[in-house]
Amino acid sequence: MNCLEFRRRLLEDPQDPALAAHRASCDACRAAALGADAFEAQLSAALQVPVPVGLGARLAVAAEAAAARRHRRRALATGFGTALAAAAALLVFWLPPPLLAAAADHVRHEPALLAAADRPAVPDAELVERLAGVGLRAVGSLGTVTYAGACHVRDQDAAHIVIDDPAGPITLLIMPSEPVGARSSFQDGALHGVLVPLGTGSMAIISDEPEKSRVAASRLASALAPT
Partner 1 sequence: MDRAGFEALVQAYGDSLYRTALWMCGDPQQAEDLVQETLLRAWRGLGRLRDERAVRGWLITILRREHARRLPRRLPAAALDPDQLTAAAPEPATTLSIRAALAALPGAQREVLVLQLVWGFSCAEIGDLLGASPTAVGTRLFRARAALREAMAHKKGGLG
What is the DSSP-derived secondary structure letter of residue 135? T
Q: Name which position in 2, 27, 49, 95 contacts partner 1 (CB under 8 A).
A: 49
- Provide the edge-to-edge strand list for the sheet that holds 184-188: 145-153, 156-165, 168-175, 201-207, 191-198, 184-188
Is residue 83 close enough to count as binding partner 1 by CB under 8 A?
no
Taking the complex as a whole, how short is the minimal distance between the CB of residue 130 and partner 1, in angstroms?
8
Taking the complex as a whole, how short is the minimal distance between the CB of residue 51 and partner 1, in angstroms?
5
Is residue 166 close enough to count as binding partner 1 by CB under 8 A?
no
CA distances to 103, 184, 205, 217, 220 from 196, in Å: 13, 7, 8, 8, 10
Q: Give the integer Cα–Cα distance in Å for 49 and 45.
A: 8
Contact 173, 103 (CB under 8 A): yes
Of 9, 31, 34, 27, the closest CA to residue 19 belongs to 9
**Mask 118-157, x = binds partner 1 (CB under 8 A)?**
-xxxxxxxx--x--xx------------------------
Taking the complex as a whole, how short is the minimal distance between the CB of residue 176 and partner 1, in angstroms?
16
Is residue 112 close enough to count as binding partner 1 by CB under 8 A?
no
Is residue 58 close enough to count as binding partner 1 by CB under 8 A?
yes
Q: Name which position in 31, 67, 75, 190 contacts partner 1 (CB under 8 A).
A: 67
Q: Please report, as ranges, the residues that interact with partner 1 according to CB under 8 A.
A: 8-9, 11-13, 39-40, 42-52, 55-56, 58-60, 62-64, 66-67, 119-126, 129, 132-133
